[in-house]
Amino acid sequence: VGNIVQAELEMVKALLSGDRRVVVLTGAGVSAESGVPTFRGRDGLWKHYRAEDLARPDAFAAHPELVWEFYNWRRRLVADCRPNPAHRALAAMERQIRNFLLITQNVDGLHVRAGSRKMVEMHGSLWQVRCTVCTHAREDFSELPELPDCPVCGHLLRPGVVWFGEPLTPGVLKLAIEQIGKADVFLSVGTSNMVQPAASFYQLAKDHGAVTVEINAEPTPNTGFMDFALHGPAGEILPELAA
């Protein structure tokens, strides 16, 4: 690391002392070093489909078997992945900082497996399934059939994730807005900041006067609005901050 980067790292590290209120937003970049593909990588995510083509209610309505094939593939893929130093550093940070909240856009469950608990999965989880008709919902790590059906009413199950055009789970947005509105430090890690509402969270933090920090492999549309921007692998930068 160069001297300027090192100096910036030290300044950000100093912000993360135990009595500060810290909110961290994460995205697919924190799981990249675990081998989980990101959404907006060069080759598309799966069989040349883009997330925008599959992660939407109308795609599921038209081709449920295709969408379930996509999710079953990702469930298998993620089951073989392990949390990386970025996940572990965030779990350590939560133990060091009393007022801490991790808001993840990731559905892979790797933050939980790394030990994070003060955390919300704002786009749901690959390991949640729920009925398209009744209220049945469950956590399920088993191998699912191609078109799983509801044990209660027999209708089709769907992945327990938030698709484009769908609202977040009730309460999640409210919690995020409340906590970010009180934050002293806001970290955005491993997200392209292309998807709303997460991409606008930094604004709530800034309105409150929080210090904003971006950690990402490359600049994002939000970079210019950040107080600090550290560009590099999350699995190298976060362990330095949590050390």
- Residues found near ligand BJW in the complex (CB under 6 A): 27-29, 32-33, 38-40, 51, 55, 105, 107, 123, 161-167, 190-192, 194-197, 216-218, 220, 233-235
Q: How far is the CB of 25 from ligand BJW (least distance, A)?
A: 9
Question: Could you confirm whether 123 is annotated as catalytic?
Answer: yes
Structure tokens at 39: 């959404």
- The yes or no reply on residue 113 touching Zn ion (CB under 5 A) is no
Nearest-10 Cα torsion for 5, 30, 236, 225: 10
Please answer whether residues 129 and 143 qualify as being in contact, where contact means their C-beta atoms are separated by less than 8 angstroms: no
Q: How far is the CB of 80 from ligand BJW (least distance, A)?
A: 17
* Distance from C-alpha of 226 to C-alpha of 92, rounded to nearest angstrom: 24
- The yes or no reply on residue 129 touching Zn ion (CB under 5 A) is no
Contact partner at residue 152 from Zn ion, ligand BJW, none, CB < 5 to 8 Å by partner kind: Zn ion
Q: How far is the CB of 220 from ligand BJW (least distance, A)?
A: 6
Closest CA to 134 of 148, 118, 151: 151
Q: How far is the CB of 54 from ligand BJW (least distance, A)?
A: 7
Question: Can you give the three-state secondary structure of 128-150, one letter per residue?
Answer: EEEECCCCCEEECCCCCCCCCEC
Q: Which of 87, 123, 136, 155 is catalytic?
A: 123
Contact partner at residue 34 from Zn ion, ligand BJW, none, CB < 5 to 8 Å by partner kind: none
As annotated, the binding site for Zn(2+) includes: 131, 134, 150, 153
Contact partner at residue 164 from Zn ion, ligand BJW, none, CB < 5 to 8 Å by partner kind: ligand BJW
* Distance from C-alpha of 154 to C-alpha of 136, rounded to nearest angstrom: 10
Which CB, 20 or 49, lies closer to ligand BJW?
49
Per-residue CA distances from 176 to 46, 112, 173 (Å)? 30, 18, 5
Token pair 């799983």 in the structure block, residue = 148
Structure tokens at 184: 């002293």
Interface residues with Zn ion (CB under 5 A) are 131, 133-134, 136, 150, 152-153, 155
Q: Which residues are catalytic?
A: 123
